[in-house]
Amino acid sequence: MSRNFELMERAGKEPRIGYSSGLPSHTVASSSTGNGHRVGNGLDLDQITRDELLKLVQRVFGTQGRGHPCAIVIAGVDLGDGSSRICADIAKTLAMNVSESVCLVDANVQSNSLPRILDATNFHGLVDSLRDEGAIRDFAQRLRPNNLWFLSSGTAGSDLASHSRSDRLKTRLTELRTAFDYVLISVPPVFLDGTATLVGPLVDGAILVVEANLTHREVARKARETLESANVRLLGAVFNNRTFPIPGALYARL
């Protein structure tokens, strides 16, 4: 068990493999085989990833209604921790398991990762909606499955903070919650800029991405404290790229 997992474990409740703080943890086993699907202990990585994603969605969102978040932020701790792809995977998994509409929002205006991951375009998106008039749905692209939408970051080089001072960002986020049943917002790493602490208090909570064997314990703790000090409700931690030191047959029984 890594120190990072121990850190999250100490934050709260009884631990379970694949989860942290009694909340879901997206677990993607690392492979050195190069095939991207199976490692020497017999684990099917694709199936494990699908199972963990579904568990995460069920634990975080449950069924839509009172007590369950419908708009969340997903933030990484380190650059290159895979938080953009995890956000996209969660959005797709959620859309495939509900009939309601899901909107994935790219609030990382300095990166073009999500459009590449989704094979979508970055045009006329979030930043443009803060500047221009029109229904928020008109700025979004429809993807597959048909209930999945994508609001790209839009015009590059813009500053979300400048729009927050005029309450324009808050207004648009309110419109997103009205136009879509679920809203997932991908933001830059917590310490890269202030987007996570800017957007986090305006939604139902945040999921923090922690990279196994990369994110230092103290850095993860400071990231959590930064979010909480900004009045962001921390829903849980995604523990990414964890290896599996136990045999596949034993893991399947857990």
pLDDT the model gives residue 79:
81
pLDDT in tens, 80-130: 778 999 999 999 999 999 999 999 999 998 888 999 999 999 988 999 999
Helix locations, 62-167, DSSP H: 83-97, 113-118, 126-131, 160-164
| Sign of the C-alpha dihedral computed for residues 156, 160, 76 and 235 taken in this order | negative
For the question of whether the overall pTM of this predicted structure is more than 0.85, the answer is no
Domains of the chain, each with CATH number or no CATH: 3-252 (3.40.50.300)
**Low-confidence spans in the chain with pLDDT less than 70:** 1-45, 63-67, 156-158, 165, 213-214, 241-254
| Class of residue 248 by CB neighbours under 10 A (exposed 0-12, middle 13-18, buried 19+) | middle
pLDDT the model gives residue 111:
87
Element (H, E) at 217: helix 217-229
Q: Are residues 99 and 63 in contact, defined by beta-carbon separation less than 8 angstroms?
A: no
pLDDT the model gives residue 238:
86
Element (H, E) at 225: helix 217-229
In angstroms, the CA 5 to CA 127 distance is: 36
In angstroms, the CA 253 to CA 19 distance is: 16
Q: Are residues 251 and 52 in contact, defined by beta-carbon separation less than 8 angstroms?
A: no
